[in-house]
Structure 1
Amino acid sequence: MACSHASATWAWCLFQFNAISMKKELQMNKQNKLGGCMIFLLIPILLLVGFVLVSQWTAHTPAILGADGQPLSGSIASLEKIKLGGVDQWLIIRGYDVNKPVLLFLSGGPGASEAARVLRFNSELEKHFVVVIWEQRGCGKSYPSLNPKSDLTVDQYVADLIELTDILRERFDEQKIYLVGHSWGTIIGVRAAQQRPDLFHAYVGTAQMVDVRETDEMIYEMVLEHSRKTGDTAFVQTLEKQGPPPYFGKSPIQPYATLFGREYALYEAPNIKDPEYRRDGDILMLMLKQPEYGWLDRLYYLLGLMNTFNAVYPQLQEMDFRVDAARLDLPVYIVLGRHDMNNPYQLPEEYFNLLEAPNKQLIFFENSGHGMIWEEASLFHRLMVETVLPEAYR
């Protein structure tokens, strides 16, 4: 009996040992499977992070090449970060001859970068100017300078612009530079030209803004009328529900996007005749091929469109250059697209007529809209090289 009892005890112990061993083995298998899944998930994440970081580190602007395929002597092709207003901001600088006059381009927005379109459609200007494309704070490559948002004011953008102009004047040994603004860029361009006309050979306002609130109200009425005529009752209801601009709140870009998106689709696109622009003008597709941008910069571009716009656009509702900037003490060239429905030409034309300036010209591009400098790029190049450059360079 003792022997049987001992055998039973031994068998029970052996059973418990096997059970514990099996349990540990199951736990280990589970942990191994979990670890395998973690590794399986972690590897593509690490590869993606590495890919994004490499794209940022290798971002560059291509060298300007001579006939021999080598970098052209005396040219400049630079992608660089500088401090403006105490924060990092980016510049793209390109020119066939570093001794040519400097042209500073101010992108539209607020919150957008138009570098991709300038690089694609306006490269001809690099033969006659040192072209500087400024990625403004909170935009594109300079998106991280968004914080603190309290610095995203029109006055701060103008201060950044004047500081940048002084840096460029000193660097390229020029007393003055050319200032070209597009859309939102014309707002800070006019303000800078008003404050420091001594810094600029000339101011060129393309799609010149005058009174943002009145312009947006005009767009609302035009789109609403068109939607009624075409029987788009659903969109009429959408517009009537959100009401006319201005829009405020946490995310004003949403109702503005609804309005502007329909306005572009209904009015502007059919009037753009240039097949090259119609084929290659999409800013997002251009940006995907832009070597100056890494993948994080492309994300920054989208974030800037939302967050910087939301912070800055509501500040523009009380401006009216017919009152605030009726005199500019430098040569002024206002360039308008005849079919621009994002900024209808009536207000800029009215502003031009009352503007006092030592020399002023109003130029219409007949086959383009809001982006006339890309939609009719060859006309813009001729204007800059054959008119603005010889008339204003001193």
Structure 2
Amino acid sequence: MRKKLNKLIFVEEYVYINGIEQFLFHNGTSYDNPVMLYLHGGPGSAESLFTEGFQGKWEDLYTVIHWDQRGAGKTLIKNPHKYPTIDLVLKDLYDIVQYLKKKYNKDKIVLLGHSWGSVLGSTFIKKYPEEVSYYIGVGQVVSMLDNERVGYEKVKELILQKKDIRSQKKLDAIGEYPDEKYSEEWLKKCLKLRKLQEKYKLAASMDLSISLIAFKSPIFKFSDILALMKAFKSNEKLVEFLVNFNLKLQSNEYKIPVFYIMGGNDWQTPYSEAEEYFNKIKAPVKKYYLIPNAGHMTMLDQPDLFFEALKEIAEKQKAAKSI
């Protein structure tokens, strides 16, 4: 265990969940605060290494727990051949929620899902609404295929505006996109499109500044790099689930409060798609936040504006609970 950074709550631990040891990273300033479980993206892209880049102020509002999911990060290194399916990871999540409720003596927890985590989170709250006090979707995925169509058209528009012949040739080489069914070829096309989107700052990229946040993390180990390199192989079944995911085909009724925080420059999970769907959902309480000049890594791109949205949510939900 490394130095606790003078925090009341600073815990790295492996917990035996659903047949394997899974990594949890806890940070907080008060045991009285609500417990927030952060569901990372990918699938396979653990975000526990990036907490120092955005989470400091959050810990005045919540005890924040990062979970390296089955097939990701430190959990993958500990269990290199235990690959996830959607049923396994949902059971993992349910068991972790029970563990956190008991550990912190809470009736419910707050769930925040980022990107792929928003798919997992949305699926979980539909199935187990009684376990969650409210849900926050960031880089919310509504329909993966629709997201890819919109993102493709946006980068195409910018390439034409810039008369970028080299990028145009790369886009043309991708051909028809996206295909309706997941395949190895689908994934290859997606990765090629991401490179073009990264060039035009339409999608998240591991640039030097973001990489430095990870390298400076108090929990960083070089094995974390190995886990990231293995992410695609270990999460193939979840990627297939993600490609076929479409909230529009499900009921738009939610039994708990729902909040979306989206980046105004996010074309990886386009904010326009999330907003259109959000306007149609029915929930006890809901609010949509659009953060200007923020991309897919919304909380890292504009940490202060993101915190203001999070603070408003936390304070209003606390007030509502006390009535």
TM-score by length of 1: 0.74
Structure 1 residues 309 and 259: CA distance shift in structure 2, 3 A: farther
User: Which SS does the other structure have where 1:354 is aligned?
Assistant: coil
Please give the per-residue CA displacement for 1:53-93, whole angstroms capped at 9, x wherever unaligned: xxxxxxx454142xxxxxx5xx2111000122212210100
In structure 1, what is the equivalent of residue 198 of structure 2?
Answer: 264
Q: Distance in 2 between matches of 1:62 and 1:187?
A: 34
Q: Verify: 1:376 aligned to 2:302, yes or no.
A: yes
Preserved CA contact (<8 Å) 2:289 2:309: no
Give structure 1 regions of 4+ aligned residues with deviation exceeding 6 angstroms: none
In structure 2, what is the equivalent of residue 9 of structure 1?
Answer: none
In structure 2, what is the equivalent of residue 303 of structure 1?
Answer: 230
Please give the per-residue CA displacement for 1:242-261, whole angstroms capped at 9, x wherever unaligned: 32124744475443222112
User: Which SS does the other structure have where 2:226 is aligned?
Assistant: helix
In structure 1, what is the equivalent of residue 128 of structure 2?
Answer: 196
Q: How does 1:227-376 map to 2 (within 5 A)?
A: 227-243=159-175, 244-246=177-179, 248-250=182-184, 253-268=187-202, 281-282=209-210, 284-304=211-231, 306-376=232-302
In structure 2, what is the equivalent of residue 57 of structure 1?
Answer: none
**Identical-residue share of aligned pairs (%):** 25
Preserved CA contact (<8 Å) 2:34 2:62: yes
Count the aligned residue pairs: 316
Name the aligned partner's letter for residue 295 of structure 1. Answer: F
Deviation of residue 96 (structure 1)?
A: 1.4
Name the aligned partner's letter for residue 386 of structure 1. Answer: E
Name the aligned partner's letter for residue 98 of structure 1. Answer: Y
Deviation of residue 154 (structure 1)?
A: 2.2
Q: How does 1:38-53 map to 2 (within 5 A)?
A: none
Deviation of residue 379 (structure 1)?
A: 2.1
Alignment gaps of 5+ in structure 1: 1-59, 66-71, 273-277
Q: Verify: 1:80 aligned to 2:29, yes or no.
A: no
Aligned counterpart in structure 1 of residue 30 of structure 2, from 70, 77, 97: 97
Q: CA RMSD in A?
A: 2.4
Alignment gaps of 5+ in structure 2: none
Preserved CA contact (<8 Å) 1:61 1:77: no
Name the aligned partner's letter for residue 302 of structure 1. Answer: M
Q: Distance in 1 between matches of 2:245 and 2:221?
A: 36
Deviation of residue 309 (structure 1)?
A: 4.6
Q: Distance in 2 between matches of 1:204 and 1:131?
A: 13
In structure 2, what is the equivalent of residue 140 of structure 1?
Answer: 73
Preserved CA contact (<8 Å) 2:49 2:220: no
Deviation of residue 218 (structure 1)?
A: 1.6
User: Which SS does the other structure have where 2:294 is aligned?
Assistant: coil
In structure 2, what is the equivalent of residue 180 of structure 1?
Answer: 112
Q: Distance in 2 between matches of 1:191 and 1:264?
A: 28
Please give the per-residue CA displacement for 1:163-188, whole angstroms capped at 9, x wherever unaligned: 11111001110001111111111000
Structure 1 residues 241 and 251: CA distance shift in structure 2, 3 A: closer
Preserved CA contact (<8 Å) 1:253 1:310: no
Q: Verify: 1:166 aligned to 2:92, yes or no.
A: no
